[in-house]
Structures are given as C-alpha cells and as structure tokens.
C-alpha cells in the first residue's frame, strides 16, 4: 500500500499542457468546475494560477485521486473551457 484511501484527497492540482479554449472567459470566472475523471463528481474551482509552464487549480473541496497523466477538464455550465494533464494532485503541489 502506497497510500490510504483518505490520503488520496487533494484540493490542489498541478496541470501541464494547459489549454484554455474560451479566451473571452477569464481564469477567475466564478462558477467553474473541474472533473478529474469521467464519472467523478464535479468540484468547484476557486482559483487558477499560472506557475511557470504549469497551471495550479485550487478547489473549494477536495477531490479523490487526481492521478498524474489523466486529464482535468474545466467547465462553466455545459461549456468546456479547457483543461490539462494532471502532473501532481496533492496539497504539496
């Protein structure tokens, strides 16, 4: 066992290969959500900030198992705003 179930929750996700397809919508728009897997419950995005070549998502509530190599997709309602590849999911990101 590498980690317990409860240790896999995070409220910060570091993304690479970030794409923002809705340039008219700012990164700090209220009401954005992220999904870290198809069947995962959506999580509210509090803030998106750029750090070098990466983007850091800060979430209102932790998500479970934000797994490196998987996609994180950001929505506003039914509109896909963008997303990226999860590099690190963890509060030490």
pLDDT in tens, 36-64: 988 889 999 999 999 899 999 999 999 98
Threshold 0.75, pTM exceeds: yes
In sign, the C-alpha dihedral spanning 78, 83, 85, 86 is negative
For the chain, give the percent of residues with pLDDT over 70.
Answer: 95
Distance CA 61, CA 12 (A): 9
| Structural fold of domain 5-89 | Elongation Factor Tu (Ef-tu); domain 3 (2.40.30)
In sign, the C-alpha dihedral spanning 36, 22, 60, 16 is positive
Distance CA 38, CA 42 (A): 10
pLDDT of residue 93: 42
More confident position, 92 or 64: 64
């Amino acid at each position: 066992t590498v980690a317990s179930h409860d240790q896999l929750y995070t409220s910060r996700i570091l993304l690479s290969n970030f794409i923002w397809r809705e340039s008219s919508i700012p990164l700090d728009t209220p009401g954005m959500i992220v999904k870290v897997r198809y069947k995962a419950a959506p999580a509210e995005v509090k803030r998106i900030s750029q750090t070098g070549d990466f983007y850091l998502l800060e979430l209102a509530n932790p998500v479970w198992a934000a797994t490196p190599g998987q996609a994180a997709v950001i929505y506003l309602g039914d509109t896909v705003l963008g997303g990226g590849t999860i590099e690190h999911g963890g509060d030490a990101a």
